[in-house]
Amino acid sequence: MKSGGSLSIWFFIGVSLLVNGTLIFATGIYEIVSPPANRVVLYGLHANIWWGGVLLVLGALYCWRFSPARERKRLAENS
Amino acid sequence: MAASTLVRLSPVDLVIIVLYFALVLAIGVYLKERANTGEDFFMAGREMTAWVAGLAFLSANLGSLELMGWAGNAYKYGILAAHWYWIGAIPAMLFLALVMIPFYHICKTHSVPGYLKLRYGEPSRALSAISFGFMTVLMSGINMYAMAVVMRVVLGWDIHFSIWVSSITVAIYVALGGLRSAIFNEVLQFFLIWAGALLIPILGLVEAGGWSGLQAKILHNLTELNVPNPGAYTHMWSTLGDFGNNPMGINWVGIVFGLGAVISMGYWTTDFLVVQRILSAKDLRSAKLAPIIGAAFKMMVPFIVILPGLLGLALLRDPHTGSLLRLVPGDLAWSDAGRAQGLHGYDEVLPLMLARYCGPGLLGLGVTALIAGFMSGMAGNVSAFATVWTYDIYGALINKNASDESKVKMGRWCTLLGVVVSIGTAYLVMHAQSIMDYVQALFSFFIAPLFGTVLIGMLWKRATPAGGFLGLLAGTMSSVGMYTWVKLDPGAVKYVALSMQAQDQAQNMFRALWCGLICAAVTILVSLVTKPKPDAELTGLVYGLTTIPHEEHASIFHRPLFWGAVVALGFVILNVIFW
C-alpha cells in the first residue's frame, strides 16, 4: 500500500521497529555493563536484549524490503 | 507528577514515547497531499489492500480500554472474558466477510447509514446516523477520560495533560490525512501494541511454569481466598450450564445467542467504526479477505489481553507483606480512601504485569502500546463520526447540494469538532461519573436492533421501508424499556436476564437478544402489511437481486471462503482446548 509519494506503510512500521529495537537492545547491553539496583522479575533472562534484538532485525528487514528505492524500482518494473 | 505511581519511566522510555508521537504526526503530514477529494478523505481512495484494511479493522477496535479493561475483566471473571474475543467476534467477522461485505461493497455506500438510505429510505438513515454520530463521540470522550484516569494512576500523568496531548495528536493526523492517515496509523499502532504487550504473557508463562502451572496457581490462590468454584476461572464452557457456576453469572444461552448471535454480530457487521475500514478496500476480494485477516489476529489477542489478567491472578503478591494481592473495582481503588490504602483496580492488572517484567526501554514500549491502543480507537471514532456527519447528516439533511470540496472541508472541521465534543464529554464525566454508565448503556441500545434491520434488509427483498424503520425504532425502544425497568425495579432482572444472579454483562447479553428479536419481529410483520420497493430499486442491495462475482477462476489459496474455513477451524480448536 503506497502513501503520498513512494513510501509504503510497511516502511514506516520498519522504521518504528528498527528505532525502538535499537534503543531497547542498547539499554539491555548497558544494563549488563551497569546492572540496575532495582531489578524486574526474571531480570536474568535479559528480555530487553533478545526482545530488542527481535524488533531490530524485524525492523531492518521491513526497512530493506519496503525501502523507497526498492519500491520505486518495483513500480517502474510493473508499469 | 504524583508522589506514588505504579511505574517510573526512565529517559529511554520517554524517548520511545516521544518518537511514537512524532511518527504518527509525520504520517499525517506526509499523507495530507492525498486527502483532497471526498473519496480520498473519507474512504482512503478505496485502494487499501486486504492486509492494511484487515489490520486497521482490528486495530480500530483495540480502543482505549480494550487492552487494560479486558485484562481487568480476565482478572475479575477469569478466562470467560475470552468469549468476547472468540465466540463474541470470530463468527461475526466471518459472517461479515462472506455474507454481508458483497452488498456493502457493490452498492458503493460511504457508510452503514448510507446503506440504510439505499435499502429503506431517509427515515432509517436519519435515525441510524444521528444515534451513531452522537454516541460515537460521547463514547470516545468516556474512553478518553477512563484512559486518562488509568494514566494518572499508572504513570502519575496529569489527567488534563493525557486528555489534551493525545486528543490533539489524533485531531491533527486525522484532520490532515483523513481516513488514509487514520488507517496507516492504525496499522502502525497494531504492530506497536503487539511489540509492547507480547512480552508479558511470554515471561509470565515462564514464571508460572506454563499453562498447567498457571492453572494450578490460580486454583491454589482462589481457594486460599475462599472464592467459590475456582476452577471456573480457567474453563470457558464447562461451567456455563448454570448461572451460579461461574463468576460472570451467565449461562451458555446468553453467551451463544446474546453475545455470539446478536451483540457481536451487531458490532462487527454494522458499527461503522470498524466497517469503514473494510469499505476502503480496493476490490471485493480484498474487502472479503480483510475481516478474515482481522479474525485470525483477533483470535490471538487473548494472548496479550486475557492471559496477563490470568497471570495477575496467579502471580501478583503484595511486595511488602508477600501475601496475595487482591485487586478491587476501579471506583474503590481510585477513591481517596482506596489510594491511601494502596489498593489497585482491576484495570491496573496489565500495567502491574508490565512493571513486573519490563525494565527501561521495554517499559516505554509497553506504555506506548497502551497509548497506541487509545489513539487508534479514538481515531476510529472521529474518522467514522466525520464521515457519517458529512454524508448522512450534513449532506442529507442540511445541505443536499454540497460539493465534494465542501464535504472534504466539512470532514476536516468535523474531525476537530468530534475531538472537541469528546474532550467535553471527558470533562463532563469527570464531574458526574454516573453519566458514564448511562452513555455506555445508550450506545448498546442501538447495536442489536441495527444488526437486525441491516441483515433482514440484505437477505429479504420483501422488507419494506416502513418495516425497516419501525423495526429499528421498536428494537431500540424495547432495549431502553428493559434497561429502565431493571433500573427502577432490580427484581425485573429475573425476567430480562432469566436469573437474579445475572451480572451486568449477562444482563447486556439478554437485553440485546430480546431487542434483536423484537426488531426482527416488527420488521417482518410491518413489511408483510406494507408495500415493498420495486425490484429495480433493490438491485445491488439485496440477496437474489445482486450479482455477486464468482471466484471459480481463483486458486483455492486466493479464495476468501478457504481462509474463512481455516479461521473457523482454528476457532473451534481453541474452544475445545480451553473447554
Write out pLDDT tens, residues B259-291. Answer: 888 888 988 998 888 899 999 999 999 999 999
d(CA B490, CA B21): 46
Q: pLDDT by residue (tens digit) across A33-72?
A: 999 888 999 999 999 999 999 999 999 999 999 998 888 8
Tell which residue, B278, B270, B276, B271, has the closest CA to residue B295: B278
A55 close to B (CB below 8 A): yes
**Rounded to the nearest 5°, which phi and psi values hold at B251?**
-120, 180
Residue B3 has pLDDT above 70, yes or no: no
Check if A57 contacts B (Cβ < 8 Å).
no
Which single residue is written with the C-alpha cell 511470554?
B202
pLDDT digits (tens, 9 = 90+) for B357-414: 999 999 999 988 888 888 888 888 899 999 999 999 999 989 888 999 999 999 999 9
Of A4, A12, A23, the CB nearest to B361: A23
Q: Please say if the pLDDT value at position A22 is more than 60.
A: yes
| CB contact at 8 A, B461 and B544 | yes
How many Cα atoms sit within 13 Å of B386 on the Cβ side?
A: 32
Give the residue carrying C-alpha cell 458483497.
Answer: B102
B162 alpha-carbon distance from chain centroid:
21
> Between B27, B49, B359, which is nearest A31 by CB?
B359
Inform me whether the C-beta atom of residue A41 falls under 8 Å from chain B C-beta atoms.
Answer: yes
Contacts 24+ apart (CB under 8 A), B491-499: B497/B254, B498/B243, B498/B251, B498/B253, B499/B243, B499/B249, B499/B251
CA nearest to B30, candidates A15, A75, A58: A15
- Taking the C-alpha atoms of B34, B39, B45 and B48 in order, what is their torsion angle to the nearest 10 degrees? 130
Q: Check CB contact of A48 with chain B, cutoff 8 Å.
A: yes
Task: Please write the tens of the pLDDT for every residue from B231-256.
Answer: 889 999 998 888 778 888 888 888 89
Measured CA to CA, the distance from residue B69 to residue B574 in angstroms comes to 22
Look up cell 476468501; give the residue: B560
Give the separation between CA B483 and CA B382, rounded to whole angstroms. Answer: 28
B102/B99 Cα distance (integer angstroms): 7
Distance CA B320, CA B323 (A): 8
B352 interfacial to chain A (CB closer than 8 Å): no
**Chain B residues close to A29, C-beta within 8 Å:** none
- Percent residues over pLDDT 70 in chain B: 96
* Mean pLDDT, range B477-495, rounded to an integer: 89
What is the C-alpha separation between B195 and B373, in angstroms, rounded?
A: 12
How does residue B2 score in pLDDT terms, banded at 50, 70 and 90? very low
Tell me the C-alpha distance between B68 and B51, whole Å: 26
**Cell of residue B541, nine digits:** 442491495
**A20, A24, A47 ranked by CB distance to B203: nearest:** A47
Taking the mean position of all CA atoms in its chain, how far away is CA A66?
13
Please report, for the domain that includes residue B266, its CATH number.
1.20.1730.10
Residue B188, domain member (yes or no): yes
Provide the pLDDT for residue B291: 97
Answer whether residue B116 is part of any domain.
yes
Tracing cell 506503510 back to the chain, one arrives at A9
For B489-547, how does the pLDDT look when each residue is reduced to its tens digit (9 = 90+)? 988 888 888 888 777 767 887 888 899 899 999 999 999 999 999 999 999 899 988 88
Q: What is the DSSP string of A4-73?
A: SSS-BHHHHHHHHHHHHHHHHHHHHHHHHHS--SSPPTTGGG-HHHHHHHHHHHHHHHHHHHT-HHHHHH
Q: Identify which of B369, B421, B427 has the alpha carbon closest to the alpha carbon of residue B159.
A: B427
* Domain annotation covers residue B508: no
Look at residue B112 in the predicted model and tell me its pLDDT: 92
Q: Verify whether the Cβ–Cβ distance A24 to B19 is below 8 Å.
A: no
pLDDT value, residue B438? 64
Give the tens place of pLDDT for each residue, B189-236: 899 989 999 999 999 999 999 999 999 999 999 998 888 888 889 999
Q: What is the pLDDT of residue B457?
A: 94
Nearest chain A residue to B180 by CA distance is A3
B425 falls in which pLDDT band (50, 70, 90)? confident
pLDDT in the model for residue B341: 83
What ranges do the domains of chain A cover?
9-78
pLDDT of B63 strictly over 70: no
- Chain B residues in contact with A5 by the CB 8 A cut-off are 30
A19 in contact with chain B, both atoms CB, cutoff 8 A: yes
What is the SS3 assignment for B503-565? CHHHHHHHHHHHHHHHHHHHHHHHHHCCCCCCHHHHCCCCCCCCCCCCCCCCCHHHCHHHHHH
What is the number of alpha carbons within 13 Å of residue B171 lying toward its C-beta? Answer: 19
Contacts 24+ apart (CB under 8 A), B215-220: B217/B314, B217/B315, B218/B78, B218/B310, B218/B313, B218/B314
Range of the domain at B554: 11-441+550-577
Amino acid symbol at B539: T
Specify if B506 maps to a domain.
no
Q: How far apart are CA B397 and CA B565, in angstroms?
A: 43
Largest CA distance in chain A: 59
- The nearest alpha carbon in chain B to A43 belongs to B357
How far apart are the C-alpha atoms of B289 and B568, rounded to whole Å? Answer: 14
- For the cut 70, the answer to whether the pLDDT of residue B434 exceeds it is no
The verdict on residue B245 lying in a domain is yes
Residue pLDDT, tens place only, B147-180: 787 788 778 888 898 889 889 999 999 999 999 9
**Average pLDDT across chain B, whole number:** 88
pLDDT (mean) for B454-463: 94
The residue type found at B494 is K
Per-residue confidence (pLDDT) for residue B121, from 0 to 100? 93
Q: pLDDT tens digits for B283-329?
A: 999 999 999 999 999 999 999 999 999 999 999 988 778 788 888 88
| Domain total of chain B | 1
Q: Is B503 left (phi over 0), alpha (psi -120 to 50) or beta?
A: beta
Chain B's closest residue to A50, CA to CA, is B199
| B176 is a domain residue | yes
ipTM entry: 0.92
| Cα–Cα distance for residue pair B225/B393, rounded to 1 Å | 54
